[in-house]
Amino acid sequence: MPLNAVEVNDLTRRYGYRTALRKISFSLEEGGIHGLFGANGAGKTTLMRILSTILRPHKGEVRVLGLDPEEDTLELRARLGIVGDKPLLYAELTGRENLRFYGRLYGMEKESIEKRIEDLSQRFDVFEWLDEPTKILSTGLRKRFDVARSLIHDPELYLLDEPFSGLDQDSSAVFLEYLDDHRNDRTVLLTTHNLALGARICDDYLTLKKGEVTGQGPISEFEGKL
Amino acid sequence: MSSGARAAAAIARKDIVSQARKRFEVFSMFLFALISVLAFSFAVAGQVEADTASALVWVIIFLTGMFGFAPVFISEAETGTLRGLSVAPVPSWSVYIGKVVYGFVIMGIVEVFLIPICMAMLNFSFTADPTFVLFTFAIGTLDLAAVGAMASALTMPAESKSTVYPLVYFPTATSALILLVEITRILVSGPGLIPVALLLQFLVAHLLAMTSLSGAVFHFTLTG
């Protein structure tokens, strides 16, 4: 029986008087690309933030990779790769320095950081830009570096919140190819407003509406609307 | 080195390298400090004793700190990079300590240029006991950096950051300022009723209390 990468039971999260997630329950199996779809304000980003340990639930139980985000925070963070719509890069540092910095934060040794930078920069076609300050790079190149940043420590679970925003077609294709190659040995939870793209690359889907789960199943059953 | 200490060193190093490339923040801190020295020298030079003039150095450093420590976390929150630190597998105190070290270094750079100018413009000298002076400036600057970094972190969620920051920084840093002014006066004018070593112990206690308390509660500023 496959293990679950994410298990959520009766999860509730509020912002003041507004309930962002209302008693939601679902689970996602290890491996594959899981799509998390919903309109603006559906609760996708709140859920992603809870899974990535930066937001605490008000009620309910959450397990990610078998760990409790509140109790096993650092252990879990070391196994997550997170990409949001905004690159988490320091403008004054070069791409290489940014990747080295994040490698150090993830406790990697110098040699493995350098090797990983080499591999990822080749993979995402940013090798020739490695020693340029990221502030001079185009949005697409910065995004490619940001994706490389999220993968520097070879995470087990990728939490991708609108990762394709700001990416041109070529950059999206490179990233999609990477995800496709790791479909079997890594787990991906992906939010996107591009439902056609989501339907094309995801193995299954979960839909949220006004903080509640409205559907879950194999992507073949997804009707392409929310 | 523990993983937390390694992370703190990486964060401090990253900020120092970024700052060295930007330059304008340290330069604007120095400019602010220099203008303050000039203004004080016009107002009081020759009219006040050396011990009072020397105490003004800490007032200038205190005000420069208000200006220089504020962006320590606020700029990370504004650019969005704080999220990268929030989701990294490092203890939150290491993020705080990394920022304190960075604040200490940039303020230290400003002080290296500022103190000789102050001595020349305000007519006093710190040469009587250089080791003690150096130690006082190191502890004092570290203390103000510790308070400044925490104030910056607490100010992040505020809408009106420039109003909130001094309201947080001023009351928490004032106790250190009073001690530093008193120690500096004694160092310049000779021993007073209270031994300077006792005041220095209070200052070290203030630094330890600020860093340990801030380090302990810092994770609340990174997670919601």
Could B22 and A101 be called an inter-chain contact, meaning their C-beta atoms sit closer than 8 Å? no
How much is the pLDDT for B106?
93
| Residues in CB range of A136: below 8 A, 6 or more apart | none
What is the mean predicted confidence (pLDDT) over A57-70?
95
pLDDT digits (tens, 9 = 90+) for B47-58: 778 778 888 899
Chain B CB contacts of A148 below 8 Å: none
For chain B, the average pLDDT equals: 88
> Which secondary structure element, helix H or strand E, spans residue A8, and what is its range?
strand A4-15
What is the mean predicted confidence (pLDDT) over A159-168?
87
What is the mean predicted confidence (pLDDT) over A81-100?
94
What is the mean predicted confidence (pLDDT) over B72-90?
90
| Residues in CB range of A17: below 8 A, 6 or more apart | none
What is the mean predicted confidence (pLDDT) over A184-193?
92
**∠ Cα B30 A89 B87 (to 5°):** 105
Could B224 and A101 be called an inter-chain contact, meaning their C-beta atoms sit closer than 8 Å? no
- Say if A136 is an interface residue toward chain B (CB within 8 Å): no
Could B10 and A75 be called an inter-chain contact, meaning their C-beta atoms sit closer than 8 Å? no
Buried b (16+ CB within 10 A) or exposed e, A10-46: ebebeeeeebbbbebebebebbbbbbbbbeeebbbbb
Shortest alpha-carbon distance between residue B151 and chain A (Å): 21
State the pLDDT confidence band at A76, using cuts at 50, 70 and 90: very high
For chain A, the average pLDDT equals: 92
**Rounded to an integer, what distance in angstroms lies between the CA atom of residue B54 and that of residue B125?**
8
How much is the pLDDT for A96?
97
Chain B CB contacts of A149 below 8 Å: 84
How much is the pLDDT for B158?
84
Q: Is residue B18 within 8 Å of residue A90, measured between CB atoms?
A: yes
DSSP string, B138-203: HHHHHHHHHHHHHHHHHHTT-SSHHHHHHHHHHHHHHHHHHHHHHHHHHHHH---SS-HHHHHHHH
What is the mean predicted confidence (pLDDT) over A32-56?
94
DSSP letter, residue A194:
-
User: What distance lies between CA A181 and its chain's CA centroid?
Assistant: 16
pLDDT of A17 above 70: yes
State the pLDDT confidence band at A155, using cuts at 50, 70 and 90: very high
State the pLDDT confidence band at B87, using cuts at 50, 70 and 90: very high
How much is the pLDDT for B122?
86
Of A80, A90, A106, the CB nearest to B18: A90
pTM of the prediction? 0.90
- In chain A, what are the domains? 1-79+156-215 (3.40.50.300), 85-154 (no CATH)
pLDDT digits (tens, 9 = 90+) for B104-143: 999 999 999 999 999 888 888 887 778 888 999 999 999 9
Domain residue limits at B26 = 3-222
pLDDT of A226 above 80: no
**Rounded to an integer, what distance in angstroms lies between the CA atom of residue A224 and that of residue A82?**
26
Residues in chain B: 224
What is the mean predicted confidence (pLDDT) over A88-116?
96
| Residues in CB range of B47: below 8 A, 6 or more apart | none
pLDDT above 70 covers a percentage of chain B that reads: 97
pLDDT of A102 above 70: yes
How much is the pLDDT for A2?
62
Of B7, B21, B223, the CB nearest to A92: B21
Q: How many domains does chain B have?
A: 1
Of B14, B21, B80, the CB nearest to A101: B14
pLDDT digits (tens, 9 = 90+) for B16-43: 999 999 878 888 889 999 999 999 888 8
pLDDT of A225 above 70: no
pLDDT of B1 above 80: no
Residue of B nearest to A105 (CA): B7
What is the mean predicted confidence (pLDDT) over A117-124?
94
How much is the pLDDT for A1?
57
Joined tokens for residue A204: 């299954």
Q: Which residue has the tokens 């290296």?
A: B112
DSSP string, chain B: --HHHHHHHHHHHHHHHHHHHH-HHHHHHHHHHHHHHHHHHHHHTTTS-HHHHHHHHHHHHHHHHHHHTTHHHHHHHHHSTHHHHHTSSS-HHHHHHHHHHHHHHHHHHHHHHHHHHHHHHHT---TTSHHHHHHHHHHHHHHHHHHHHHHHHHHTT-SSHHHHHHHHHHHHHHHHHHHHHHHHHHHHH---SS-HHHHHHHHHHHHHHHHHHHHHHTHHHH--
- Say if B23 is an interface residue toward chain A (CB within 8 Å): no
Which of A85 and A134 is assigned the larger pLDDT? A134
Strand partners, A157: A80, A187
How much is the pLDDT for B16?
94
- Say if B157 is an interface residue toward chain A (CB within 8 Å): no
Could A49 and B91 be called an inter-chain contact, meaning their C-beta atoms sit closer than 8 Å? no
Flag the least confident range among A29-33, A76-80, A169-173.
A169-173
How much is the pLDDT for A27?
95
